[in-house]
Chains A and B, each alone.
Chain A
Amino acid sequence: MTRFGRRAESLPDLMADAAGAALAAARREATEAIVVASMNPEEFIGEGNFASYVATHLGFAHVPAIRVETATSSGAAAIFSGFTAIAAGMFRSVLVVGGERMTHVSTPRASEIIGRSIDPYERSYGATMPALAALVTRILMARRGVGLREISEVAVKNHRNAARNPYAHFRAPVTVAEVMESRIVADPLRLYHCCPISDGAAALVLSADRTAVRIAGIGQGTDTLAVRYREDLTTFAATQSAAKAAFSMAGMGPERVDFAEVHDAFSPFELIALEDLGLLRPGTAGSATLAGETALDGRLPVNPSGGLKARGHPLAATGIAQVVELFWQLTGQADGRQLEGTVGLAHSIGGLATNNFVTILAAER
């Protein structure tokens, strides 16, 4: 993957750098197929027919390429598509590459483009991603006893982890006071509870051959586009069903997971995810975070890369970057933040949890 943050390179160049690094790491020069992930290159960079664009740019013009899009989980959806193609016996190897170029547009414009993934009626009332996340957070705080302190600690932890990750957007740690005193974006969410707008790309090579790490399980979960149709706003049904499918395929339970990369586009989402995934008991994610259980040296390290909050969130790159981080952790390549363990879990949210993916990676012994 490329370093995330404000980048000068074009999106196709960022994706070429990520793809080149992934192929080199896999000791391959070619691939049988390509799955491209980009949430909205049409509006961010004015390019369409993007699978062919990327394939040609990479020098793989004659390799079958498709693009997949499930909003902010597009990267994870691309891995899912590549996995199913290999599992079906269509290909022996698939290059999965995703990225987004966002920092060249203004923040309101970026917010507008990301907001295309919101229900049109709710959007017509000015609902943005932070607005919907704030509505969820307000109920979470009222009904689940989660305080601003616990939510802010998620951001502090993830910034602390990113300081050890050379690929991260933010390398400087932040204090709880800085997080809690940052300006209000959508009450009760403050600026430091929200992920940044980043440029970047990530890639990996899936193979039918036996490798050091295998995808033990992968699952997709979906929910209504409109948030107002949901029965319960303090949990995400799309995460729960994706986790159920992934754990069932892997033939293991959440207790086997050693560390996780979860979708903390907004800090409270990390707390919701940990409980929805079954990694922590309902109602305990906040106190576990305060107690340091999810820190790098904790019982269950979460977002060792820095998460979306601090590694950055170039939309379609994120779901792939999470799995790349797990791969590095499982193969002893996570310099400065190396964890012990043989099973890692990645969790990616599309839209306001309308199309989520869970991927479980296991080291081969």
Chain B
Amino acid sequence: MLEQIEASCCPRCGMLVAPKVRFCPYHPVEMQPTTVPGVGEILSFTTLYAPPQGFRSPLHIAIVELAGGARFVCHGEATKGIRIGSRVSVEAVDAVYYFAHLGALDRARLFWRRAGARGERVSAIVRSWTKGVWKGRSRDTHA
């Protein structure tokens, strides 16, 4: 499933920010809660070779422009194949957001999501089927 990220929208200027905040950075008005889908474009990225304490090296950080224009800072497993403008999905693992290259499977998932409930059912069947195949294969190799 595509992650829905909690965001805020300014009732005055329409600015969208993620994660949610209380006030608009440009107007002293309370923001309205909303969500944005966790898919977007890489705006910029870097790899830290001397990250701060508590982080593993190398540390990949990116700014992703989410659908709707909110910009999001997140981690990534790798930056191989990533360039400015790359389409990525953003997902939370243990409340920490990661970007990942949209592979064939992700693109298919996006397609199914648009297809609605029927797509969900099909993708669930596909998932359980691939899992079964995978388990079967690993059982073979361990035997």
* Size range of the chain A interface in the assembly: 20 to 34
- Identify the closest chain A residue to B49 (Cβ): A184
What distance in Å separates the Cβ of B65 from its nearest Cβ neighbour in chain A? 9
In B70-92, the 8 Å CB interface with A consists of 71-75, 79, 84
- Report B-chain residues with C-beta under 8 Å of the C-beta of A63: none
A131–B73 Cα gap in the complex (Å)? Answer: 12
A13 at the binding interface (Cβ < 8 Å): no
* Size range of the chain B interface in the assembly: 20 to 34
In B38-62, the 8 Å CB interface with A consists of 43-55, 59, 61
A257 at the binding interface (Cβ < 8 Å): no
From A125, A186, A224, B49 is in contact (CB under 8 Å) with: A186
A286–B96 Cα gap in the complex (Å)? Answer: 38
What distance in Å separates the Cβ of A106 from its nearest Cβ neighbour in chain B? 10
Contact A183 B48 (CB under 8 A): no
- Report B-chain residues with C-beta under 8 Å of the C-beta of A229: 15, 17, 25, 71
Return the CB mask of A116-156 against B: 1 if under 8 Å, else 0. 00000110011110110011101100100000000000000
A28 at the binding interface (Cβ < 8 Å): no
Contact B47 A125 (CB under 8 A): no
What distance in Å separates the Cβ of B37 from its nearest Cβ neighbour in chain A? 17
What distance in Å separates the Cβ of A233 from its nearest Cβ neighbour in chain B? 7
Contact B50 A126 (CB under 8 A): no
Contact B25 A224 (CB under 8 A): yes
Contact A138 B84 (CB under 8 A): yes
What distance in Å separates the Cβ of A128 from its nearest Cβ neighbour in chain B? 6
Contact A226 B46 (CB under 8 A): no
- Report B-chain residues with C-beta under 8 Å of the C-beta of A122: 73
A226–B15 Cα gap in the complex (Å)? Answer: 14
Contact A108 B52 (CB under 8 A): yes
Contact B61 A112 (CB under 8 A): no
- Report A-chain residues with C-beta under 8 Å of the C-beta of B15: 229
- Report A-chain residues with C-beta under 8 Å of the C-beta of B11: none
B63 at the binding interface (Cβ < 8 Å): yes
A187 at the binding interface (Cβ < 8 Å): yes
What distance in Å separates the Cβ of A73 from its nearest Cβ neighbour in chain B? 20
Contact A108 B50 (CB under 8 A): yes
A227–B62 Cα gap in the complex (Å)? Answer: 12
Contact A128 B48 (CB under 8 A): yes
Q: With A139-B44, A229-B71 as given contacts, are A127 and B49 in contact (CB-CB < 8 Å)?
A: no
B132 at the binding interface (Cβ < 8 Å): no
From B19, B63, B75, A126 is in contact (CB under 8 Å) with: B75
A107–B79 Cα gap in the complex (Å)? Answer: 26
In B85-142, the 8 Å CB interface with A consists of 96
Contact B19 A131 (CB under 8 A): no
Contact A226 B61 (CB under 8 A): no
What distance in Å separates the Cβ of B67 from its nearest Cβ neighbour in chain A? 15
Return the CB mask of B3-26 against A: 1 if under 8 Å, else 0. 000000000000101010000011
Contact A139 B49 (CB under 8 A): no
- Identify the closest chain B residue to A135 (Cβ): B44
Contact A126 B52 (CB under 8 A): yes
- Report B-chain residues with C-beta under 8 Å of the C-beta of A331: none
- Report A-chain residues with C-beta under 8 Å of the C-beta of B17: 226, 228-229
Contact A183 B73 (CB under 8 A): no
- Identify the closest chain A residue to B54 (Cβ): A126
In A82-122, the 8 Å CB interface with B consists of 107-108, 111-112, 115, 121-122
Q: With A121-B73, A125-B74, A126-B59 as given contacts, are A135 and B45 in contact (CB-CB < 8 Å)?
A: yes
Cβ contacts A to B, 7 pairs, < 8 Å? A111-B50, A115-B52, A122-B73, A127-B61, A127-B73, A135-B45, A186-B46
Shortest 10 CB-CB contacts between residues of A and residues of B: A134-B46, A228-B71, A135-B44, A126-B55, A187-B47, A138-B44, A139-B44, A224-B25, A186-B46, A142-B84
Interface residues of A (CB under 8 A from B): 107-108, 111-112, 115, 121-122, 125-128, 130-131, 134-136, 138-139, 142, 183-189, 224, 226-229, 233
Besides A128-B51, A135-B45, A136-B44, 16 more A-B contacts (Cβ < 8 Å) are A107-B50, A112-B53, A125-B74, A125-B96, A126-B48, A126-B55, A135-B61, A139-B44, A142-B84, A183-B49, A184-B47, A186-B46, A187-B46, A226-B17, A228-B71, A233-B43
